[in-house]
Homo-oligomer: A and B are copies of this chain.
Amino acid sequence: NTRYRIALIPGDGIGTEVLPPACAVLDAVGERHGLTFAYDTFDWSCRRYLTDGAMMPDDGLDRIRHHDAVLLGAVGWPGVPDHVSLWGLLIPIRRQFRQYVNLRPIKVLDGVPSPLARATSEVDFVVVRENVEGEYSEIGGRLNRGFPDEMAVQEAVFTRPGVERILDYAFTTAQRRGGDVVSATKSNGIVHTMPFWDELVREAAGRFPEVAWRQEHIDALVAKVVLDPARFDVIVGSNLFGDILSDLAAAVAGSIGLAPAANLNPEREYPSMFEPVHGSAPDIAGQGIANPLGAIWSASMMLDHLGHPEAAAEVFDAFASVLATTGVRTRDLGGTASTEDFTRLILAAV
């Protein structure tokens, strides 16, 4: 019997409504696999910010540093600027815990319509996004604020170790999946960082001679993701390109409302964090109608990361079969089921 300590950060809005279903599913599948989960819940959120002046306590990161994983609901609430909620919680966790991989699986699921006329269940790929450096560096600022010659600069920083590790992760993933790697670039233009990225891709490809790869310029690539999503297996991109591609791909698959994300520290020096992609959804919060699938799918990714791919697959198969064989849906997918009813169905399938 293996025991895991999970840090739960429900956060704001529907974040607090989707984590209990995810935990229920974890407990159910865990029982069959000899896994138990001990949850510590942290009230870090915009609510906390509004009363205590900070999204989390000063020693917040220390309190979860030794957990086996973090499960996050959603952060963000009207009245709290995004940079407060993100810099106060999400981004420090990603960066201080060196979660340099942001992993987003993209699948067209039976029973979930895609906006594309010809999307099929062959659409099944992952976006591997660099998660801690690149275009989203902390370096930059403003000059001559308020004057006619005002300007703002932002430095994109790509380091050899930072790029090598995300590429190795992408090539390893493709190798495991028996697929290929597409690298998002923009080296035909002006930016100085992308030719460097391309060189490191060629080097990485040399370390994985059996994995096929190609590169695509980001502008052409977004077009191809729409025109022919089935041709992708692993797409690897910088922090910004990966950010754009992962939301685009989820939209193409029709699954933006149920998409999961993993923020991984593959070396396991620090806990990794799993979070549904949907936000706190103030418009439907408190009504018990949120779709729990983003959180449940994220929990499935957590199982995989903890070394239990079979349990992970059972969770995925359970909700995929509910979607494929029943018409029961939460409101975001056009149905009328409550979070609770829908969760019950999934628990039965697990």
Contact = CB atoms under 8 A, between A and B. Distances in A.
A191 interface: yes
A116 B220 CA distance: 17
A246 B218 CA distance: 11
Contact of A116 (B86, B116, B140, B147): B116
A254 to B, nearest CB: 9
A100 to B, nearest CB: 15
Given A187-B82, A227-B115, A256-B223, A193 B248 contact: no
A83 B138 CA distance: 29
A121 interface: no
Given A151-B157, A156-B156, A158-B151, A137 B222 contact: no
Interface string A247-274: 1101110001000000000000000000
Contacts of A246: 219
Interface string A133-153: 001111011100001111111
A153 B160 contact: no
A157 B218 CA distance: 20
Interface of A: 82-83, 86, 91, 113-118, 135-138, 140-142, 147-161, 186-193, 195-197, 218-220, 222-224, 226-227, 240, 243-244, 246-248, 250-252, 256
